[in-house]
């Protein structure tokens, strides 16, 4: 089946399913009430991202059936994604101990790294062999990405826009540079998230919820690690395109720990939260993320992959420097005032 037709079908399916999830959330009183970490002021149904999860997993299964996706990669995405989504779904409907949740995250990440065959052959900085430590870094990368995606899902549309713009950017790079591996599943993910975005932006009628935010972080992380199997430059392309979320979440966490806050304390001191309060609206901030991703990060990622630099890691630094400057300028990680 044409990936264009498939994407349209799953875009429509996800949008319809999200509407059904909103009806379910209202009926079951699954409401996100504003708290000290919230950037919204109105109680809003949550859990709509389940539509993205179900649609995408179904799409992966269909791609495996039609032999447009290798069984091994498809099964890894489906099983790991299902576990993380189920964990988030249960947490949305109740409360799961934070340590238990983190332990499951690590177990899933370890299973993914093993399933992908490990990364002991990976070298960085033009020949420096990481050996077994690369596997440890890969596990930490997956755990951090799925958690930071949850942290960054705080204003209307931002998590969806980040996923859509990142996947579209990488799909463009894959297509232009004839990197055929896994491009269909990248387009499919973008289509599914776009179907949800219609309900979440510019005014949120339903929130994504932990079931989907962690799922998206994990899936994007796996796609990046699959790219690492190709070459380090392609992996750096993913890291560059995910720069807004990676820089904001990482800088904020480090700054808060240095300021004496506990890692798990609720807060509203991410860069995007601070800017949204200054703007008095979520919309300009979400659109700003889209502009940065397409006009700054995408070109750098494309050049990095196309030229296959000896030191693609330096391109990541170049891409991140303005993002770090923005976080510093707006005092991310300080008090919520």
pLDDT tens digit sequence for 292-335 = 999 999 999 999 999 988 899 999 999 999 999 999 999 998 86
More confident residue, 34 or 323: 323
Q: How many CB atoms lie within 10 A of CB 134?
A: 19
Could you tell me the pLDDT band of residue 337, with boundaries at 50, 70 and 90? very low
pLDDT digits (tens, 9 = 90+) for 247-269: 999 999 999 999 888 777 778 89
CA 302 to chain centre: 19
pLDDT of amino acid 41: 65
Average pLDDT of the segment spanning 187-210: 94
Nearest CA-CA partner of 324 in 251, 274, 270: 251
For the chain, how many residues are written?
A: 337
Q: Which residues of 286-318 are buried (b: 16+ CB within 10 A; e: fewer)?
A: bebbbebbeebbbebbbebbeeebeebbebbee
* 220 — pLDDT class (breaks 50, 70, 90): very high
Question: What Rg, from alpha-carbon coordinates, does the chain have?
Answer: 19
pTM of the model as a whole: 0.95
């Amino acid at each position: 089946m044409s990936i264009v037709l498939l994407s349209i079908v799953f875009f429509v399916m996800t949008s319809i399913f999200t509407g059904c999830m909103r009806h379910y959330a209202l009926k079951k009183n699954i409401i996100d009430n504003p708290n000290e970490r919230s950037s919204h002021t109105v109680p809003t149904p949550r859990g709509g991202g389940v539509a993205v999860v179900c649609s995408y997993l179904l799409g992966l299964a269909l791609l495996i059936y039609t032999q447009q996706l290798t069984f091994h990669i498809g099964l890894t995405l489906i099983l790991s994604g299902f576990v993380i989504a189920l964990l988030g779904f249960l947490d949305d409907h109740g409360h799961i101990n934070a340590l238990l949740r983190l332990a499951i995250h690590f177990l899933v990440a370890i299973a993914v790294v093993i399933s992908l065959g490990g990364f002991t052959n990976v070298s960085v900085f033009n020949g420096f062999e990481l050996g077994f430590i690369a596997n440890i870094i890969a596990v930490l990368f997956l755990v951090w990405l799925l958690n930071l995606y949850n942290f960054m899902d705080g204003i209307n549309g931002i998590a969806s826009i980040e996923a859509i713009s990142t996947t579209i950017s990488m799909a463009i790079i894959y297509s232009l540079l004839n990197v055929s591996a896994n491009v269909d599943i990248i387009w499919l993910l973008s289509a599914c998230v776009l179907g949800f975005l219609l309900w979440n932006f510019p005014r949120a009628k339903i929130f994504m919820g932990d079931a989907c935010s962690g799922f998206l972080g994990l899936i994007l992380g796996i796609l990046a690690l699959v790219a690492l199997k190709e070459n380090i430059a392609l992996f750096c392309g993913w890291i560059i395109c995910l720069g807004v979320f990676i820089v904001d979440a990482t800088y904020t966490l480090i700054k808060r720990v240095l300021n004496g806050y506990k890692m798990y304390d609720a807060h509203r001191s991410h860069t995007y939260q601070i800017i949204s309060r200054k703007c008095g609206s979520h919309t300009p901030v979400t659109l700003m993320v889209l502009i940065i991703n397409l006009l700054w990060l995408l070109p750098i990622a494309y050049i990095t992959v196309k030229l296959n630099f000896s030191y693609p890691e330096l391109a990541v630094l170049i891409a991140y420097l303005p993002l770090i400057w923005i976080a510093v300028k707006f005092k991310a990680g300080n008090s919520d005032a």
